[in-house]
């Protein structure tokens, strides 16, 4: 699916935009399912294991920051990951054996939908090597006003910046960190049906949604099978016991087979500890950890 030029671009820059990765039928079906889930959130009054609610959410105005683990709610989200052009992009970039760490649908509600402060996914979940990436499938057109993803090209080859505030992991860098070069940011806008790819170590973030449209991006966070988690989100596996862990891992294999010989690379690691008071999502981690905002009006 990807050309050699696209693969080299990803290696050098740490991100990629892939156009028309979904057929019109696939896109329409994903949009329909997603709309149904947002509608169903009207009766929800508190964030729970399925929905992360945004300020102002209510029965007349469903406002979500996120639908959590959508592939566990509707199998079509899993089908798209495992049997579509998305799958081809995955194996082009990570090789034949891959697994899913997590998935989420960041819904950024119209008129203010929350910013995601600048961070590196790697800071949340270091692994034995950094063959990990995230896909962002645009389920609606993403333009400058909807709070598109922004990345700092090449930063995946640099250091892991501190994501701590007052000694707590706050899930965001300090925008005044001298190593943060905001002026190099690239904005990833794209049509519905296109997809962003970002490397696990690239610095990225996104501004609030100031448009009157929802920004719907379906994120899949993926790893090569030889990259094993040290800590962070995926380390819930350590609580499962060996049998539970094995079953869980197999349920998350996207392509190929599990790999029992992790590749150990010389990668910079800073453990995401101690956790913020509420670490149930990136939004909650950044808020309760007191992350400084790069997007607040000064």
Q: Which of 16, 80, 86, 149 forms a contact with ligand AKG (CB under 6 A)?
A: 149
Q: Please, are residues 165 and 292 in contact by the beta-carbon 8 Å criterion?
A: yes
Cβ distance to ligand AKG smaller for residue 1 or 73: 73
CB of 249 to ligand AKG, least distance (A): 22
Residues 6+ apart with CB under 8 A from 76: 29, 30, 33
**Per-residue string for binding with ligand AKG, 205-244, x by CB under 6 A?**
-x----------x---------------------------
Site for ligand AKG in 74-113 (CB under 6 A): 106
Q: Please, are residues 116 and 206 in contact by the beta-carbon 8 Å criterion?
A: yes
How far, in whole angstroms, is CA 137 from its chain's centroid? Answer: 10
22 binds ligand AKG (CB under 6 A): no
Q: Which of 282, 287, 291, 294 forms a contact with ligand AKG (CB under 6 A)?
A: 282
CB of 116 to ligand AKG, least distance (A): 4
285 binds ligand AKG (CB under 6 A): no
Q: For residue 121, how many C-alpha atoms fall within 13 Å in the half-sphere facing its CB?
A: 26
Q: Which of 63, 71, 204, 226 forms a contact with ligand AKG (CB under 6 A)?
A: 204
Q: Please, are residues 223 and 124 in contact by the beta-carbon 8 Å criterion?
A: no
Instruction: To the nearest 10°, report the CA torsion of 187, 32, 27, 188.
Output: 0
Strand partners, 169: 164
Q: Which of 116, 173, 197, 200 forms a contact with ligand AKG (CB under 6 A)?
A: 116
Cβ distance to ligand AKG smaller for residue 27 or 217: 217
Q: How far apart are the first and last CA of the chain?
A: 44
Angle in degrees, 0-180, between the axes of helices 75-82 and 85-94, rounded to the nearest 10? 50
CB of 66 to ligand AKG, least distance (A): 8
Q: Please, are residues 19 and 194 in contact by the beta-carbon 8 Å criterion?
A: yes
Burial of 226: CB neighbours in 10 Å, binned 0-12, 13-18, 19+: buried
121 binds ligand AKG (CB under 6 A): yes
**Per-residue string for binding with ligand AKG, 155-194, x by CB under 6 A?**
----------------------------------------
Binding site for ligand AKG (CB under 6 A): 106, 116, 121, 149, 204, 206, 217, 282
């Amino acid at each position: 699916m990807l050309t050699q030029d696209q693969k080299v671009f990803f290696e050098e820059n740490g991100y990629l935009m892939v156009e028309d990765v979904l057929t019109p039928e696939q896109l329409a079906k994903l949009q329909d399912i997603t709309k149904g889930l947002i509608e169903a959130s009207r009766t929800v009054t508190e964030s729970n294991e399925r929905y992360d609610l945004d300020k102002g959410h209510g029965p007349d105005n469903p406002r979500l920051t996120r639908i959590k683990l959508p592939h566990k709610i509707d199998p079509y989200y899993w089908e798209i990951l495992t049997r579509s052009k998305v799958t081809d992009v995955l194996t082009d970039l990570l090789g034949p054996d891959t697994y899913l760490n997590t998935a989420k649908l960041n819904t950024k509600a119209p008129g203010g939908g929350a910013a995601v402060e600048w961070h590196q996914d790697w800071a949340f979940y270091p692994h034995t090597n950094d063959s990990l990436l995230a896909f962002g499938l645009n389920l609606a057109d993403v333009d400058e006003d909807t709070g598109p993803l922004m990345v700092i090209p090449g930063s995946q080859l640099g250091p892991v910046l501190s994501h701590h505030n007052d000694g707590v992991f706050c899930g965001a860098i300090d925008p005044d960190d001298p190593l943060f070069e905001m002026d190099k940011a690239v904005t990833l806008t794209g049509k519905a049906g296109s997809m962003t790819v970002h490397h696990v170590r690239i610095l990225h973030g996104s501004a609030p949604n100031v448009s009157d449209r929802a920004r719907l991006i379906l994120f899949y966070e993926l790893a090569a099978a030889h990259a094993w988690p040290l800590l962070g989100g995926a380390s819930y596996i350590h609580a499962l016991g060996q049998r539970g862990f094995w079953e869980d891992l197999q349920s998350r294999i996207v392509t190929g087979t599990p790999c029992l010989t992790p590749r150990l690379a010389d990668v910079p690691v800073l453990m995401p500890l101690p956790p913020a008071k509420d670490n149930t999502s990136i939004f909650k981690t950044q808020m309760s950890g007191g992350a400084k905002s790069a997007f607040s009006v000064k």
